Amino acid sequence: MLAYSLRRLLVAIPTILLLIVACFFLMHYAPGGPFTSERPLPPQVLANIEARYGLDQPLWKQLWDYLYNIVVHFDFGPSFKFKDRDVNDIIAQGFPISLTYGSLSFLVATVVGVSLGIAAAIRHNSWIDYFAVGLGIAAQALPNFIMGPILILTFTLWLGWLPGGGWNGGQWPYLIMPVIALATSYMGSIARITRSSMLEVLNSNFIRTARAKGLPTRTVIWRHALKPTLLPVVSYLGPVFVYVLTGSVFVDIYFSTGGLGQAYVGSALSRDYAVLLGVTILYGALTVVVNLLTDLAYAWFDPKIRY
């Protein structure tokens, strides 16, 4: 187990480094730098600006500085667009918001999805089963950017119960719709996976044995069936967390929650490469870490797996 964890960690670190290097070269060779404007700057001014951002250094030096600052100081450098803020400020402002409703959606999707899937499998072919299956199908066609408009239409325009956007320090009326919009489709997928996995487990021999020796249904399900059921679900949770992170880009735009997504799309439109890369690298690194954790959780959950 320890050797396996170390081996996985050894793969994860170069992955993140490679991501940073690849992003750096993408930025370097992108046409139209952040300082190209309609009125060309005098060469002296341009030289000064480039010196300020370290762009006059040789390429390897720039790459080294960029890498060094990220790894050692966790510093993504200055923003090209906002003169008084650097990328860290922007991330520090937006990331907590994105993380708040991202984790909430993740929690809601997992808890509700798993409960629904288990209930559907236990009461196979009942109304709750059909509901779970229906939700699983709808989930595929209702990603966050479809759910968002539908929710606002229902709860803000027709019923007038919830505010249509904003953050307001994360009060709960402002949280409900972003969380639901983000969680629904993954909730459906999780419910579907849990249901089919539970059905398979309930038909297996060791469950029949447990039943045959007279254990009550409750014990059979909680003590015997639950753990093997959750194995495929756990391996799906890593990707879900990543989807929730990228989905937050949409929520920030649509519900104006002020999270990192707003900064991301804004920088994409105004070619503020420093912010764009900073956020991509942050999310990429998070993805790698989450995948690592998922793999470790999987190994811990299923002692049969030998690596």
Binding mask 7-36 for another protein (x = CB under 8 A): ----x--xx--xx---x--xx-xxx-----
Question: Measured from the CB of residue 241, what is the shortest distance to another protein in angstroms?
Answer: 10
Binding mask 234-253 for another protein (x = CB under 8 A): --------x--xx--xx--x
Residue 217: partners with Cβ closer than 8 Å, 6 or more residues away: none
Locate tokens 């194995």: which residue? 231
Q: Where on the phi/psi map is residue 74: left (φ > 0), alpha (ψ -120 to 50), or beta?
A: left
Which two structure tokens, joined as six digits, stand for 230? 């959750």
Locate tokens 């959950």: which residue? 301
Confirm or reject binding of residue 146 to another protein (CB under 8 A): yes
The footprint of another protein on this chain (CB under 8 A) covers a number of residues equal to 44
Please say which residue, 226 or 231, places its beta carbon nearer to another protein: 231
Which two structure tokens, joined as six digits, stand for 257? 């929650």
Confirm or reject binding of residue 287 to another protein (CB under 8 A): yes
Given a contact cutoff of 8 angstroms between Cβ atoms, the answer to whether 218 and 148 are in contact is: no
Q: How far is CA 154 from the centre of its chain?
A: 26
Given a contact cutoff of 8 angstroms between Cβ atoms, the answer to whether 108 and 188 are in contact is: no
Locate tokens 């720039």: which residue? 62
For residue 41, the 8-state DSSP code is: P
Please say which residue, 7 or 227, places its beta carbon nearer to another protein: 7
Cα 43 from Cα 86, distance rounded (Å): 25
Q: CA angle 297-300-305, nearest 5°? A: 110
Which of the ranges 52-60, 78-86, 198-206, 263-271 carries the binding residues for another protein, by CB under 8 A?
263-271
User: Residue 78: phi, psi to the nearest 5?
Assistant: -80, 155
**Touching another protein, residues 26-85 (CB under 8 A):** 26-27, 29-31
Given a contact cutoff of 8 angstroms between Cβ atoms, the answer to whether 105 and 187 are in contact is: no
Q: How far is CA 269 from the centre of its chain?
A: 22
Considering only residues 46, 122, 268, 296, which one is a binding residue for another protein as defined by CB under 8 A? Answer: 268
Question: Measured from the CB of residue 194, what is the shortest distance to another protein in angstroms?
Answer: 18
Considering only residues 55, 226, 288, 293, which one is a binding residue for another protein as defined by CB under 8 A? Answer: 288
Which of the ranges 46-54, 70-78, 212-220, 274-282 carries the binding residues for another protein, by CB under 8 A?
274-282
DSSP string, 64-123: HHHHHIIIII----B-SS-TT-BHHHHHHHHHHHHHHHHHHHHHHHHHHHHHHHHHHHHT
Please say which residue, 220 or 281, places its beta carbon nearer to another protein: 281
Please say which residue, 2 or 157, places its beta carbon nearer to another protein: 157
Please say which residue, 155 or 210, places its beta carbon nearer to another protein: 155
Confirm or reject binding of residue 256 to another protein (CB under 8 A): no
Which of the ranges 80-88, 92-100, 149-157, 206-214 carries the binding residues for another protein, by CB under 8 A?
149-157
Please say which residue, 228 or 284, places its beta carbon nearer to another protein: 284
Which residues of the chain form contacts with another protein (CB under 8 A)?
11, 14-15, 18-19, 23, 26-27, 29-31, 137, 140-143, 145-146, 148-149, 152-153, 157, 242, 245-246, 249-250, 253-254, 264-265, 268-269, 271, 276-277, 279-280, 283-284, 287-288, 291
